[in-house]
Structure 1
Amino acid sequence: MTQPDARPRTGGILAVLAYTGIIASLMQTLVVPLLGELPRLLGSTASDTSWVVTITLLVAAVATPVAGRLGDMYGKRRMMIASTVPLIIGSITCALAGSLIPMIIGRGLQGLGVGVIPLAIALLRDVMPPQRLGASIALISSSLGIGGALGLPLASAVTQYSNWRVMFWAAAVLVAVATALLVVVVPEGSAEGSSGRFDVPGALLLGAGLVALLLPVSKGAAWGWSSGATLGLFTASIASLLVWMWWELRAPEPLVDLRITARPQVLVTNLASIALGVGMYALQLSVPQLLQLPKALGYGLGQSMLAMGLWMAPGGLMMMLISPIGAKLSARRGPKVTLTTGALVMAVGYGLGVPLMGSVWGLLVVNIVCSSGVAFAYGAMPALIMGAVPQSETAAANSFNTLMRSIGTSVSSAVVGAVLAQMTISVAGHAIPTENGFRVVFLIGTGVALLAALIAAAIPVRRATPESAARPAQPAAASSS
């Protein structure tokens, strides 16, 4: 009698979690079409307005592992709802901003909401039937890329045809809808760590270390890689993270259980995640620029902001189509094979970029192939992580994996930015990246994706036992139907 009711209910849960993940990840690319206009709109300089992107990255890096641990302690759904509140407040703050400081504050608040995606992935383990777990994980994990890809055309259309503030008001409404749906549709999962205490010293040390690492990675090109500020922050980061690791190994209730993180399956998956983060973001940093550069250069494609977004949108749609295929591959061959396949597909996509970068159709092919690889890879990583950790650590372990991807995207931003800044020509007093600069970026993407494939192939996947924490990894094999 209960079985017919269970199907639509789990389908509704998955739809709400996927919608929430897509909306949260959309915040990452929301301001990309505005970047060139922000100095004029906010009465500031290009260097200062770059903080509108940097602050979101820094806050998200610190907030994601904290949200994961709190989710394991007090309930993942509860923490998802709590994470949407600063998303709404931040969006409203940005919509009302008339100067740089309120915009930075709003974007920082938006960064607090990024943790909803690993929380949603962890919640699936508690509320979804085993036969649907693999496909569900793949879809939610891919929402990181889906939201980012769909955000470009949506934000471009609003920016080009309406007031830019409308974009942030719309974001606030979309997040408010997600909050209401979470309250009404999604049940609470287990909170096996609820009796523990939150590791405040661990959170502060990790936050300090991450800020000291990601800040010079993001701003090093502007400050100078050999400047005192850059080198000093890197040194402070190493010191803070070493002290953090020392503390976590001794804390009775650590923010991140490093003993679990050091398990070979988790450790090597996280290393692959860093490389995949580098590869994924290099595409988003290079292809939109190529599409919008003027045709007079000989290699630019002269597309408008809206047209660029539309050419990028099929990548997000492809992720939606590929994620269930990736889940079936994981069910039959294991998520390690899916992760390796995804990295190899990304490498092929970047390799195609070298000969095909001269046409919009060629870049469309590059975008679709690379996005397909991202969908395979991003759907497999949480399955590998959850197959090696106990259920009480699911949210924290997934949040840490998301953090590793974020570190990869930060490194990608620094590397691609440095390459394109060094290989330029001067046009009407402006430095424009050269064709060879973009070619080098595609070659770097190819190399990093191949490196990720090699790391993924080396993941030592253990066999699940009835007593092991990898329970969900085994039933997921039934999702091939």
Structure 2
Amino acid sequence: MSDTASRQPAGSALGGPARRSTALILTALVLAECVSAFEAGMVYIALPRFGEIFGAPPSTTGWAVTAYMLVAATTALVGGRLGDMYGRKKVLVVVMLASILGSVISVFGDSMGAIIVGRGVQGVAGAILPLCYGLAREVLPPGKVALGVGYIGGAAMLAGAGGSLIAGYLLDVADWHLIFVFAAVLALVASAVVTVAIPGSHVPTDLARFDYLGAALMTPGLTAVLFGITQGPAWGWASVRVVGLLLGGLAILAVWTVWEMRQRDPLVDLRVLSNKRISLNLLAVSVLALGPAGAVMIVTPIILLSPTSLPVGLGLSPTTTGLVSGLSALIGFAASPLAGLFAGRFGGRATFFVGAVMFIVANLMIFFGYDSVPVMIGVFMVAALATVFAYTGYPKIVIESVPENVTSVTTGVMATARQAFSAVGVAIVSVLLSLWTVPGTTAPTTASLRLSVGAIIVCSVIVCIICLLIGRSRQVAPTTAEPATDDAVKAPVAQA
């Protein structure tokens, strides 16, 4: 059966009276991902204000970030699997409506504790990205799937940057409640658009059994590991609590792995990692998050915001820094169709490779030009292009390499790995930045900065090498963007 034909039951987008336009479907998918990215980024700028209003120390307000991250990492996998089983459109709408509940809890609870609980509920939005990738493959015409993946990746970056800008503006003109009100309205509008614009998802006639025990094992295991990583800098990496969390979490995940390998219908089909392209793709995503797409997040603010009296610092205001970030995100989003077309023509591996090369260029610019405002603005622009190419490339590799019915859960694995290794990268670079500091301050010296950026460049080079090892998909022909048959989709898995 052809890939197009296999999607016809849900794909009234491809024909019939209920036909939807590609532009309308893309708009719905982009808007849905904006919910996820906005909710992930909106709270950072509000943390100092929370501390002032509720008299809470940073160790407490930081839980507004941690709670979201821990839930998002788990729901990326669970939500992706539920979408593959019961219909991605249905699960996507449920997830966005659930995130509204998180905003309501934060607004009406009106306390730091309520905000933390609400942010945890909002964390279900972590499932949105893998569900959108799966829907792009399911409901878009085959030749437009790569374009859709590009737009979704661009939306993630644009809304992430927009989260800080909008939240900052609302804090200036009103109060913190409106941040959550805006998030709720955005999720409500996106839910309505998805309901109208996206055709009903295909649901298998022979439903697999949901792996409840697998979910019950994975959740505490993954949470313990991620919590241990995030608390390592504060508690000390050798502390009993951190070591206990890491070892305990890894032990639970080891048991979970054994359980999953024995199941006919696992929560996550780990056998897909026997596919060389998928396993190398996962490794590349992890290294990318370790450096250029993760750890660099704490390097650039130090350079831009630190006073010029320090060895590393350009003395820009938070507003100017936000504008630079927002402008670069707009440029990245504008380039997302180009990344999608490139992926459709040359495949996910080549697209990912181009993104990694641009990350090398961006970080070399930091290494040699950290003391120049124009150079650092250029860094943001190049990094935005690198991000949209990389975030288009890695899900496209998944689409080229696995059957359609496990697309969302497999991209969910990638999203979870990206989040986990981003936390690891931030912790490592934090240590590197503190190796040599200006006497009497915590500010890094030039040597610390260059060591940190050098480590990020090494990670970028490793990603390039891994991309070359992934190999070209047999499905991607010079004149077509998508495979023609289900057999072609399954071929790489069978070969592995």
TM over 0.5: yes
State the match for 1:47 in structure 2.
Answer: 59
State the match for 1:357 in structure 2.
Answer: 370
SS at match of 1:113: helix
Partners in 2 of 1:7 and 1:348 — Cα distance?
A: 44
State the match for 1:418 in structure 2.
Answer: 431
C-alpha distance 37-295 of structure 1, shift in aligned 2 (>3 A): farther
Partners in 1 of 2:150 and 2:312 — Cα distance?
A: 37
Q: Which residue of 399, 406, 415 maps to 1:386? A: 399
CA deviations on 1:236-278 (whole Å, 9 max, x unpaired) are: 1221111111101111210011111321111110111111122
Q: 2:171 is aligned with what amino acid?
A: T
State the match for 2:461 in structure 1.
Answer: 450
State the match for 1:134 in structure 2.
Answer: 146
Matched, 1:330 2:343: yes
C-alpha distance 305-163 of structure 1, shift in aligned 2 (>3 A): farther
Greater shift after overlay, 3-12 or 150-159?
A: 3-12
Q: 1:441 is aligned with what amino acid?
A: S
State the match for 1:463 in structure 2.
Answer: 474
The TM-score, its normalising length taken from structure 2, stands at 0.89
Q: CA deviation at 1:467?
A: 4.6
Q: 2:118 is aligned with what amino acid?
A: G
Partners in 2 of 1:252 and 1:472 — Cα distance?
A: 20
State the match for 1:440 in structure 2.
Answer: 451
Q: CA deviation at 1:329?
A: 2.2
Partners in 2 of 1:135 and 1:216 — Cα distance?
A: 38
Matched, 1:401 2:420: no
Q: CA deviation at 1:333?
A: 2.4
C-alpha distance 345-109 of structure 1, shift in aligned 2 (>3 A): same
SS at match of 1:114: helix
SS at match of 2:442: strand
Partners in 2 of 1:98 and 1:8 — Cα distance?
A: 42
State the match for 2:45 in structure 1.
Answer: 33
C-alpha distance 152-469 of structure 1, shift in aligned 2 (>3 A): farther
Aligned partners of 2:20 and 2:198 also within 8 Å: no
Partners in 1 of 2:85 and 2:193 — Cα distance?
A: 22
| Aligned ranges 1:256-335 → 2 under 5 Å | 256-278=268-290, 279-297=292-310, 299-335=312-348
State the match for 2:117 in structure 1.
Answer: 105
Q: 2:37 is aligned with what amino acid?
A: S
State the match for 1:192 in structure 2.
Answer: 204
Q: CA deviation at 1:136?
A: 0.8
Q: CA deviation at 1:193?
A: 7.2
Matched, 1:376 2:389: yes
Partners in 2 of 1:147 and 1:285 — Cα distance?
A: 19
C-alpha distance 77-7 of structure 1, shift in aligned 2 (>3 A): closer
Aligned partners of 1:145 and 1:319 also within 8 Å: yes
Partners in 2 of 1:95 and 1:445 — Cα distance?
A: 39
Partners in 2 of 1:360 and 1:460 — Cα distance?
A: 39
Greater shift after overlay, 159-168 or 6-15?
A: 6-15
Q: 2:164 is aligned with what amino acid?
A: L
C-alpha distance 323-193 of structure 1, shift in aligned 2 (>3 A): farther
SS at match of 1:301: coil
Matched, 1:156 2:175: no
Aligned partners of 1:223 and 1:230 also within 8 Å: yes
Greater shift after overlay, 216-225 or 304-313?
A: 304-313
State the match for 1:201 in structure 2.
Answer: 213
Instruction: Tell me the C-alpha RMSD between the 2 structures.
Output: 2.3
C-alpha distance 7-306 of structure 1, shift in aligned 2 (>3 A): farther
C-alpha distance 291-5 of structure 1, shift in aligned 2 (>3 A): farther
CA deviations on 1:75-95 (whole Å, 9 max, x unpaired) are: 000010111122111122223
Partners in 2 of 1:380 and 1:205 — Cα distance?
A: 31
C-alpha distance 379-366 of structure 1, shift in aligned 2 (>3 A): same
C-alpha distance 205-395 of structure 1, shift in aligned 2 (>3 A): same
Matched, 1:347 2:373: no
C-alpha distance 225-326 of structure 1, shift in aligned 2 (>3 A): same
Q: CA deviation at 1:461?
A: 4.1
Partners in 1 of 2:467 and 2:411 — Cα distance?
A: 17
C-alpha distance 252-311 of structure 1, shift in aligned 2 (>3 A): same
Q: CA deviation at 1:99?
A: 2.9
CA deviations on 1:177-218 (whole Å, 9 max, x unpaired) are: 111111222112222276121101111111122112111111
CA deviations on 1:135-177 (whole Å, 9 max, x unpaired) are: 1112113332222122222222223343222222111111111
Q: 2:443 is aligned with what amino acid?
A: I
C-alpha distance 42-237 of structure 1, shift in aligned 2 (>3 A): same
Greater shift after overlay, 464-473 or 207-216?
A: 464-473
Q: Which residue of 427, 434, 442 maps to 1:431? A: 442
Partners in 1 of 2:444 and 2:370 — Cα distance?
A: 14
Q: Which residue of 62, 69, 75 maps to 2:81? A: 69
State the match for 1:477 in structure 2.
Answer: none
Q: CA deviation at 1:305?
A: 2.3
Q: CA deviation at 1:221?
A: 0.7
Q: CA deviation at 1:7?
A: 8.4
Q: CA deviation at 1:121?
A: 0.8
What runs of 5+ residues in structure 1 fail to find an aligned partner? 474-481
Aligned partners of 2:347 and 2:396 also within 8 Å: no
Q: 1:38 is aligned with what amino acid?
A: F
C-alpha distance 394-469 of structure 1, shift in aligned 2 (>3 A): farther
Q: CA deviation at 1:437?
A: 3.4
State the match for 2:4 in structure 1.
Answer: none
Q: 1:451 is aligned with what amino acid?
A: I
Percent identity (aligned)? 29
Q: 1:300 is aligned with what amino acid?
A: G
C-alpha distance 178-116 of structure 1, shift in aligned 2 (>3 A): same
Aligned partners of 2:310 and 2:443 also within 8 Å: no
